[in-house]
């Protein structure tokens, strides 16, 4: 009868691990049964994930982890004696394995490595290498010429990610914690390296990546990731692999990233590499090929002696290892101010952004002006008189990019009163991004984006819906939910800002798709409307301060999809209750519109362990499918499956009042102003 040594989790981790957290014990190794094999450890892995994953294990359990060993006895023909195998059997010297007993992370025989060390089966040719290969290529999807930033870049995963990025034609910047590590990154071919302990990361990133960052492979979280996100380019992709900044302590507080996700349409996705178990050897074979071709360099930090396992783990957690162990401006219409002939007013009225917003907008931020309207139209132009104007939450942050004296931005439904453009005949109702003005002369051919369009036939429905459920808010709900969250029948969908123009449509579309819908709003009356009129399965009044408890009551099995209009503490509460592979569509940042971004608990752990995906968006992404969304929503309205409500303010002179009231949550459904 054989005996084996093993390290057990003797005392719960509090802060950094110490030798007191571990205990070395012996155990008897059982005789083999059919289908089993016995493996003797040759190399054992110490990895950052062990610190946090072990917290869910009771004390007395064997420390978790993988090892490469030699098969010394076998009653399983797939694991012959003498073969080198990888197995997740923990910190132990001899183990008995039955591959059929493993639901995931099944043991396997290493491929032929030639003169390479079998230890690579735990590193570049195992979990570590596949984490870099799949986590980077599948989630970041890098393109040649893009800029990639890697945190924890001198570690086993990070060093491979940077090299793979170079193989894909990218520019690579690594972040590490010592001069020696940064020098090694330069040897690996990184284009830049930042020592976060000696340099200002924000300034160094601006120096190394003056045009911004396209992809971020995040092993760290915390302040480093907050800084990187702030310099990402539009449509940037973030792969969340680890949470090193939080392994030895509580999650840190970071600035709510909501605004960046919306304005830059960023995508962030956490993952576990075992998602790609069915492609496991694809990654190993590709990394092996690159190593043999000299394109992928590997370094290992090796500690000799099973009795030194805890010390190797502690040093790795302390960073002792190398290797294994542009202001964005919204593209509003550039309007042509010509004239027109006919008996129309001689002037247009318009609201000006008179004073920059600080906190909640007030009447003092706006100024009403007039401007003359010339007498003739040029070929291709038309004149439109506003009938309904939209007030929307996005206007608050987007106007910050505009100088004082600019026209207030926004959409309107207008009636064509004169035209020199056959596509916009007199009498047609048009939707255009004309801003807060009563009359507009427009030549659509001069606009690169957001061109006006003639409304489809709404029948007896009011044209104001072209600003709501049959316009931009409706398409925001339609595309944002269906394209990003991709809800499946039976799933649970949570919507914040649920009584607004977008949120109310999102919840109903979720119901149409067979989902349970839970809305979060700010009054009992709104919550009643969501349930009694719109058919939401549950509604939460967040002002009562019981969001987490109410979510547990209404969604006891967790949340699959979250349509986020708000950010801040509400989003923090929702994310904590999301299910594995949950999807988050980030539409708005209402909690931050009237103040600086709030601090929230860094959600890094949730993204890694639950493999969540979060993507911010602007609805104009789907311009080429615009009428598809309108047609679907119109059909659902006519079928009685999509209800709507409008909060209508009368009078152009009350535009600021309607805007301020909307930001305070005074509206139910879409807020519009009738001229």
Helices (H), 419-578: 472-479, 501-512, 524-532, 547-554, 568-575
Name every residue whose Cβ is closer than 8 Å to that of residue 154 and which is 6 or more positions away in sequence: 174, 176, 177, 178, 181, 182, 184, 185, 322, 323
Q: Please give the DSSP secondary-structure letter assigned to residue 542.
A: G
Q: What string of DSSP letters covers 321-356?
A: -SB------------------SS--SEEEEEEE-S-
pLDDT tens digits, 132-168 = 999 999 999 999 999 999 999 999 999 999 999 999 9
Residue 320 has pLDDT above 90, yes or no: no
Residue 339 has pLDDT above 50, yes or no: no
Instruction: Extract the tokens encoding 181.
Output: 């590590």
Instruction: Quote the crossing angle between the two packed helices 280-292 and 156-167, to the nearest 10°.
Output: 70
Residue 602 has what pLDDT?
81
Decide which of 316 and 209 is more confident.
Answer: 209
Give CA separation, 661 vs 384, 665, 671, in Å: 27, 6, 9
Rounded distance between C-alpha atoms, residue 551 and residue 553, angstroms? 5
Instruction: Quote the crossing angle between the two packed helices 179-187 and 156-167, to the nearest 10°.
Output: 30
- The domains located in the chain, with CATH, are 2-122 (3.90.180.10), 127-299 (3.40.50.720), 347-468 (3.90.180.10), 473-643 (3.40.50.720)
Strand pairing report for 412-419 and 382-390: antiparallel
pLDDT tens digits, 457-492 = 999 999 999 999 999 999 999 999 999 999 999 999
Q: Please give the DSSP secondary-structure letter assigned to residue 45.
A: -
Residue 338: band (very low, low, confident or very high) from pLDDT cuts 50, 70, 90 = very low
> How many helices (DSSP H) and strands (DSSP E) are in the chain?
18, 31
Which stretch of DSSP H or E encloses residue 395? helix 395-398
pLDDT tens digits, 4-53 = 999 999 999 988 899 999 999 999 999 999 999 999 999 999 887 888 78
487: nearest Cα among 564, 566, 418, 585: 585
Q: Please give the DSSP secondary-structure letter assigned to residue 384.
A: E
Beta strands in 241-331 (DSSP E): 253-255, 267-270
Give CA separation, 11 vs 46, 146, 414, 503, in Å: 18, 46, 70, 47
Four-point Cα dihedral 15, 17, 20, 21, nearest 10 = 100
Sheet holding 84-87, edge to edge: 94-97, 37-44, 67-74, 84-87, 108-109
pLDDT tens digits, 558-593 = 999 999 999 999 999 999 999 999 999 999 877 665
Q: Are 349 and 369 in contact (CB under 8 A)?
A: yes
Residue 329 has what pLDDT?
27
Burial group, residue 427, by CB count within 10 angstroms (0-12, 13-18, 19+): exposed
3-class state of residue 539 by DSSP: strand
Residue 104 has what pLDDT?
77
Rounded mean pLDDT, 588-615: 80
């Amino acid at each position: 009868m054989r005996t084996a040594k093993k390290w057990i989790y003797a005392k719960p981790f509090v802060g950094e691990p110490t030798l007191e957290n571990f205990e070395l014990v012996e155990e008897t190794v059982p005789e083999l049964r059919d289908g089993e094999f016995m493996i003797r450890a040759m190399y054992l892995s110490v990895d950052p994930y062990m610190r946090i994953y072990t917290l869910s294990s009771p004390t007395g359990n064997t420390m978790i982890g993988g090892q490469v060993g030699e098969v010394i006895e076998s009653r399983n023909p797939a694991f012959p004696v003498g073969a080198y195998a990888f197995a997740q059997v923990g910190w132990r010297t001899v183990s008995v394995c039955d591959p059929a007993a493993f639901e995931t992370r099944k043991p396997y025989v290493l491929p032929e490595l030639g003169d390479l060390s079998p230890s690579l089966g735990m590193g570049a040719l195992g979990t570590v290498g596949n984490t870099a290969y799949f986590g980077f290529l599948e989630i970041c999807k890098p393109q040649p010429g893009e800029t990639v930033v890697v945190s924890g870049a001198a570690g086993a995963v990070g060093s491979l990610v940077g090299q793979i990025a170079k193989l894909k034609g990218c520019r690579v910047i690594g972040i590490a914690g010592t001069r020696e590590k940064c020098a090694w990154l330069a040897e690996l071919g990184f284009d830049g390296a930042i020592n976060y302990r000696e340099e200002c990361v924000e300034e160094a990133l601006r120096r190394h990546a003056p045009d911004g960052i396209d992809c971020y492979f995040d092993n760290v979280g915390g302040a480093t990731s907050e800084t990187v996100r702030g310099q990402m380019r539009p449509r940037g992709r973030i792969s969340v692999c680890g949470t090193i900044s939080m392994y030895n302590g509580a999650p840190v507080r970071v600035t709510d990233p909501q605004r960046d996700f919306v304005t830059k349409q960023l995508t962030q996705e956490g993952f576990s590499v075992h998602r790609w178990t069915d492609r496991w050897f694809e990654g190993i074979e590709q990394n092996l090929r690159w190593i043999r071709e000299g394109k992928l360099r590997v370094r290992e930090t090796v500690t000799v002696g099973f009795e030194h396992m805890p010390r190797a783990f502690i040093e790795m957690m302390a960073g002792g290892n190398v290797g294994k162990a542009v202001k964005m401006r919204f593209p509003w219409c550039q309007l042509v101010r010509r004239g027109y002939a006919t008996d129309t007013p001689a002037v247009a009225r318009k609201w000006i952004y008179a004073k920059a917003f600080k906190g909640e907008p007030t009447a003092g931020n706006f100024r009403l002006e007039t401007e003359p309207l010339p007498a003739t139209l040029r070929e291709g132009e038309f004149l439109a008189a506003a009938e309904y104007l939209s007030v929307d939450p996005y206007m608050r942050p987007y106007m910050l990019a505009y100088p004082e004296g600019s026209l207030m931005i926004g959409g309107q439904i207008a009636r064509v009163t004169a035209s020199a453009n056959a596509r916009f005949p007199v009498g047609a109702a048009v939707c255009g991004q004309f801003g807060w003005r009563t009359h507009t002369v427009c030549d659509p051919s001069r606009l690169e984006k957001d061109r006006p369009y003639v409304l489809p036939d709404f029948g007896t429905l009011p044209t104001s819906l072209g600003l709501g459920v049959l316009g931009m808010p409706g398409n925001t709900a339609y595309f944002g939910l269906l394209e990003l969250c991709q809800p499946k029948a039976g799933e649970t969908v949570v919507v914040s800002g649920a009584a607004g123009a977008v949120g109310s449509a999102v919840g109903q579309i979720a119901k149409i798709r067979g989902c349970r819908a839970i809305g979060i709003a700010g009054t009992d009356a709104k919550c009643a409307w969501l349930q009694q009129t719109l058919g939401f399965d549950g509604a939460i009044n967040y002002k009562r301060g019981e969001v987490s408890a109410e979510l547990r009551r209404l969604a006891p099995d967790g949340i699959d999809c979250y349509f986020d209009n708000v950010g801040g503490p509400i989003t923090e509460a929702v994310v904590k209750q999301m299910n594995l592979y949950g999807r988050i569509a980030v539409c708005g940042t209402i909690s931050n519109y009237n103040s600086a971004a709030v601090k929230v608990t860094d959600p890094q752990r949730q993204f890694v362990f639950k493999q969540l995906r979060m993507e911010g968006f602007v609805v104009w992404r789907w311009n080429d499918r615009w009428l598809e969304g309108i047609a679907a929503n119109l059909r659902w309205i006519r079928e009685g499956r999509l209800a709507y409500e409008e909060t209508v303010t009368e009078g152009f002179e009350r535009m600021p009042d309607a805007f301020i009231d909307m930001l305070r949550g005074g509206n139910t459904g879409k807020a519009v102003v009738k001229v």
